[in-house]
Amino acid sequence: MMSIPTAIGRQADGAILITWDDGDESRWSPGELRRLCPCATCREKKRATAAPSSKPVGLPVISAAEARPLTVESMRPVGNYAYNISFSDGHGSGIFPFPLLRREPSTTKVSNTSAGSNTSAGSTSAPDVDVTDEGR
């Protein structure tokens, strides 16, 4: 049986802490989640940077949103198997299945001292989480 999140909270440093139905926790920084994005666009970008190219290398151009510190803006459930995560850089097409978000408990156990929002659910459906911080 697949584990499902029972609570999601934002830590003081902006990391996301997911508590699973078996009590284990997974902690993700916004950058880790963004690099993990499984959407087609991100997979294609990763494939392009991994393949050697004979083209001349140009200077990269980044948008103003990409230059700001990265944050998770929202996490919305997709059925009972994944979350769609939106980031402050405008990216929001990735669907993150629960097994992808799950980490080994030995490397992620932390005390739940989250600042900001924390959502709990007593049912078998994943919590709908808006992780925007107001007043920051």
pLDDT digits (tens, 9 = 90+) for 98-135: 999 998 654 444 433 333 444 443 444 566 555 544 43
- Condensed to tens digits (0 to 9), the pLDDT of residues 59-83 reads 878 778 777 899 999 999 999 999 9
* 40 is a domain residue: yes
Tokens of 91: 């990216």
The tally of domains found in the chain comes to 1
Cα–Cα dist 118/11, whole Å:
9
Cα–Cα dist 6/15, whole Å:
17
* 24 is a domain residue: yes
Backbone angles phi, psi at 30, to 5 degrees: -55, -40
Cα–Cα dist 85/92, whole Å:
6
CATH number (domain holding residue 75) = 3.30.2020.30
The answer, yes or no, to whether residue 50 has pLDDT greater than 80, is: no
* 78 is a domain residue: yes
* 25 is a domain residue: yes
89: containing domain: 5-49+62-120
* 127 is a domain residue: no
pTM here is 0.70
Tokens of 92: 């929001």
